[in-house]
Structures are given as structure tokens and as C-alpha cells.
């Protein structure tokens, strides 16, 4: 496995510089993700330049992330088809970049954001639209030899390990895999306080289709109403040792990307994560960079 970061260099691919990559490498990261706002704005020269910079910095290009909101499940067919075409283009760019996968965001019916709750998110009609959108994208992914890494979360249409597995099976494409990010799915105190059972379900149901992971932490907020919030790695309740051990078992080539931190906090998080990994007996790999 390789330790990496998502968001270490804020913004999209245009903000990536050799100096920024070298700084991230010095902090202990082997992989950085690439965010693409406009897939038609990335030309052949840009792709070649990005690849050269990663090689010179001794790093691998990680997961690609396109910004297309929650339209894959929407009822507006014009917007949904535009999102499908966007992700198809992401597949083409991912193949050109030599990245391991491109992120598939399930979206939401909320007009305020793709990671916000909505009463319809758990409906069968939303699930069916997501299956239809993903099936169309997967045809391009298969042709390009690219993997799609879908995530989910308690507020999304893919709200549990079981629902994520049902989705992957319904699409039925070898190009579709799962991005492990368990913090997104914490929705009950039973989840928070029984990590072996909670995490174990994701690897039992989705281990054979796991293609990568995001790393962060969470805590229970001390108040009357149940509330969870993200926390820096090592300060919350997630059992990272168990998670990494299982991840290494099912997907030893996984990129593990620390995320959702300000740029100046990534180095500290990487140090903590490596300490946790060392105690769990995890051996990190080294980037396979080629000119």
C-alpha cells in the first residue's frame, strides 16, 4: 500500500507544481490525488507536464476527482446526461494520466450539495437512476481500462455497506470498485462504539471489490442529540490499526489518501498515521515512477 493525500495541494490540477509535490514527498506522502474541474481543459501538454512533475518528485499520480456535483441521481435528464458525459471524460483522462482510478460520487437529491441528506436519497427511484448512470459510465471505463471508485455515506443514496454492495452488483461491471471511507457511514452510536463490527462489515461485504481508501477520523460530540464530527487522525474513535490491517489483506496495492485537512496539518497527520501503521505491522510500499 502507498500513503497519500487528497487535498494536500488545494484546488484543481492547475495548482500542482513541482515544488508542491516535493514538499508533500518530504512530508512522507507517496501519492497525491488530482482534482479536475473542467475535463475538457486538460490538454495533452498538460497531461505530459503533470506526469513529468510527479516522476521528478518521486511520487505517483493518485485517484482523479472530477467536480460534477450530485446530478448522477437527479431527475433533470439534461443535467444527468451532462454529468454522465463528464465522468466518461474523466475516465479518458484517468487512462492518459495512468492514475489507478477515478472517483465516482453517488450524489444527492439535495439542491445544496452532493454530500447532504434528502428524504428521497434512500428511495428506489434514486437508486435506480444511480445504477443507470453508473452503467453508462462503466461502458467507457471498461473501454479505457479504467476503474471507477465509488464511495457512499450515511446521508447518501449508498448509505450502508449492504447498499453499496447492492449497487455494485446491480451495475455488474468489472470496472466498478469501492473506495473504503468508513467515517462517512457512521450514523449510529452502535457504529461509533463497536469498531470491529462496524468496520468488519465493510470488508466482509466489499473486500473483494475494494480499490482504495480515504483516511480520516471522527468523534462523538458531547450533547443530548446524537451528533458526529470529523477529527484529526489519532484523536477520534476510528480503529485505524484494524482498518489498515484489513485493507492490506483485501487490497495490498491500495492508495490510502488522508483527506479533509488544511494544508499545514497534513504532515502531522502523516506522522501519526505512520505510527499507527507501524504498531499494526503495516509496511508501506514505494512509488513506481517511470520517465
pLDDT value at residue 69: 84
Kindly list the structural domains of the chain, giving each domain's residue range(s) and its CATH number in brackets, ordered by start: 2-279 (3.20.20.150)
- Reading phi first (left if > 0) and then psi (alpha if -120 to 50, else beta), residue 285 is in beta
Q: pTM for this structure?
A: 0.96
Residue (of 4, 3, 7) closest to 261 by Cα position: 7
Helix (H) or strand (E) holding 278: helix 266-279
Which residues are 3's β-sheet partners? 256
Q: Which three cell numbers stand for residue 210?
A: 475494494
196-234: per-residue pLDDT in tens? 999 999 999 999 999 999 999 999 999 999 999 999 999
Mean pLDDT by 10 residues, the chain (291 residues): 97 96 97 96 95 98 94 96 97 97 97 96 98 98 98 98 98 98 97 97 98 98 96 96 98 97 96 96 84 45
Hey, what long-range contacts does 39-44 have (CB within 8 A, 24 or more apart)? 39/66, 39/86, 39/89, 39/90, 39/92, 39/93, 40/89, 42/13, 42/93, 44/96
32-44: per-residue pLDDT in tens? 999 999 999 999 9
Amino acid at each position: 500500500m502507498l500513503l497519500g493525500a487528497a487535498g494536500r495541494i488545494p484546488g484543481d490540477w492547475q495548482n500542482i507544481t513541482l515544488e508542491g509535490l516535493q514538499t508533500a514527498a518530504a512530508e512522507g506522502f507517496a501519492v497525491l490525488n488530482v482534482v479536475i474541474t473542467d475535463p475538457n481543459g486538460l490538454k495533452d501538454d498538460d497531461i505530459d507536464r503533470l506526469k513529468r512533475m510527479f516522476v521528478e518528485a518521486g511520487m505517483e499520480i493518485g485517484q482523479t476527482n472530477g467536480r460534477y456535483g450530485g446530478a448522477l441521481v437527479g431527475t433533470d435528464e439534461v443535467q444527468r446526461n451532462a454529468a454522465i458525459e463528464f465522468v466518461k471524460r474523466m475516465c479518458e483522462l484517468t487512462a492518459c494520466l495512468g492514475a489507478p482510478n477515478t472517483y465516482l460520487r453517488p450524489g444527492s437529491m439535495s439542491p445544496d450539495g452532493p454530500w447532504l441528506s434528502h428524504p428521497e436519497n434512500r428511495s428506489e427511484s434514486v437508486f435506480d437512476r444511480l445504477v443507470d448512470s453508473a452503467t453508462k459510465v462503466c461502458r467507457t471505463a471498461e473501454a479505457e481500462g479504467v476503474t471507477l471508485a465509488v464511495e457512499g455515506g450515511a446521508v447518501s443514496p449508498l448509505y450502508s455497506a449492504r447498499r453499496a454492495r447492492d449497487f455494485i452488483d446491480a451495475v455488474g461491471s468489472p470496472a466498478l470498485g469501492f473506495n473504503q471511507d468508513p467515517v462517512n457511514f457512521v450514523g449510529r452510536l452502535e457504529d461509533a462504539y463497536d469498531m470491529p463490527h462496524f468496520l468488519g462489515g465493510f470488508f466482509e461485504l466489499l473486500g473483494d471489490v475494494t480499490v482504495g481508501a480515504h483516511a480520516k477520523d471522527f468523534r462523538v460530540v458531547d450533547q443530548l442529540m446524537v451528533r458526529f464530527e470529523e477529527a484529526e487522525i489519532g484523536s477520534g474513535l476510528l480503529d485505524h490499526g484494524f482498518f489498515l490491517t484489513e485493507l492490506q489483506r483485501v487490497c495490498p496495492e491500495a492508495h490510502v489518501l488522508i483527506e479533509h485537512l488544511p494544508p499545514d496539518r497534513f504532515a502531522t497527520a502523516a506522522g501519526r498515521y505512520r505510527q499507527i501503521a507501524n504498531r499494526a505491522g503495516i509496511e508501506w510500499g514505494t512509488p513506481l515512477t517511470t520517465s
